[in-house]
Amino acid sequence: MHPNSEPHEFILRFADPPEALLWIPGCNPPKGKFGHNRVITPAGAEYLGGWNDVGAHGDGFVRITVSKLEWVSRRGNYDNGVPTGKHVFTQRNGDLVVRCYRNGKFSCEQNMLPVSYPAAYLTPSPTTDERFLPLPQHRMQHQFKYCTSTYDFRGTLYKIFRCATLTGGGMLPDVPSAAMGRELERLHEYQVLYNGRTNTSPLHKIFMSITSLHAADLKRTNRAALHTEFKGLLKRFVREVVAPLLCCDANDVLYQRIPALRIAEPSHQALGRCHTDYEYNHQPSEVNFWIPLTNVSAENTLFVESLPGAEDYTPIVAGYGEAVRFWGNQCRHHTVANTTGTTRVSLDFRCITRDKYNADFVDARGKTNGFKMPHYYVESRAE
């Protein structure tokens, strides 16, 4: 059990065959706490997956031999170990069905994973299978330049930002292209009244609203045009710049449909933690492209190791019109506290060449690929 979690127990009781793969849902920890769950498995059970430590819920896979199973939850801090609920699992027409009881009364019923769920889907895909890895040269970090007048990410993003209503009221000023970089570096001044997470600011929300495939706001004046402009800009960049860097045809790139927007305001605390994208359940065939839209230095940039496990983190120092390709899935990377006094703005997205995409990828948790086409990736084919 995680040392910071409250004492929750899930006790599995079983009897009789056949073998089944059972999904064990996580619990709600006490309010305000992030909890990890512990499973006490029956004799002979095989533990297949780790608990999800992102957020307040956990889940995992346990292979057991069951035809009936009771899952009794105990919350020691709240009820001195007295069971507060019971989940009874039975089979019906080849499905595993859970009946939930609260305080001794029937609450609800739902189907879980099929009893015959294939074991292959619970075996994590290897990270060493060359069929689904970038070419060796694409695993190395590479910094390159591109034409900002042809691929004006900064100008398009600034127009998107101008659709946002800032926390203090009003919007970003209408300025010529030459001044947009300076205005982006001053974003912290415009958001001085905003105290939430940086990825839920009005600027992030308007970016997601306009770039999202099903954004309701597209019907508003000029937003449909901005959606088309950004979508077209990203696709042209992938076809004309990214594809050659991945040594493939312009039609053979699968790329992240909505890039990640990063706004790093001046702070004494770094955003995020040192990680690989594989830890966030992405497949190893991905290659990252990082595009700063303001000048970046060692005091506010991204640090990346040169090779998986090298731990030789070096800062990416670049200006507008420069970008970096790196293998973020296996090379650890992190940011540092922005001590420059100006805001850093960047976009980044992941790409896979069509021949390296693993549609059957299973992540380290034993779960099937959650990043699929066309919801996460889109094709670079010409329309």
Query: pLDDT, tens digit, for every residue of 259-275?
Result: 999 999 998 888 778 99
| Least confident interval from 42-46, 47-51, 256-260 | 47-51
Average pLDDT on 231-241 reads 98
pLDDT band, very low/low/confident/very high, at 383 (cuts 50, 70, 90) = confident
pLDDT of 277 above 90: yes
d(CA 27, CA 321) in angstroms, rounded, equals: 47
Q: What is the predicted pLDDT for the residue at 97?
A: 52
Q: What is the predicted pLDDT for the residue at 193?
A: 58
pLDDT of 86 above 60: no
Q: What is the predicted pLDDT for the residue at 123?
A: 79
Average pLDDT on 54-74 reads 33
Q: What is the predicted pLDDT for the residue at 99?
A: 56
**In angstroms, how far is CA 363 from the centroid of its own chain?**
13
pLDDT band, very low/low/confident/very high, at 311 (cuts 50, 70, 90) = very high
pLDDT of 50 above 70: no
Give the global pTM: 0.70
| Least confident interval from 85-89, 114-118, 292-296, 332-336 | 114-118
Q: What is the predicted pLDDT for the residue at 40?
A: 32
| Least confident interval from 112-121, 294-303, 337-346 | 112-121
| Least confident interval from 26-40, 236-250, 273-287, 326-340 | 26-40
- Bridging pattern class, strands 95-102 and 314-315: unpaired
Q: What is the predicted pLDDT for the residue at 170?
A: 85
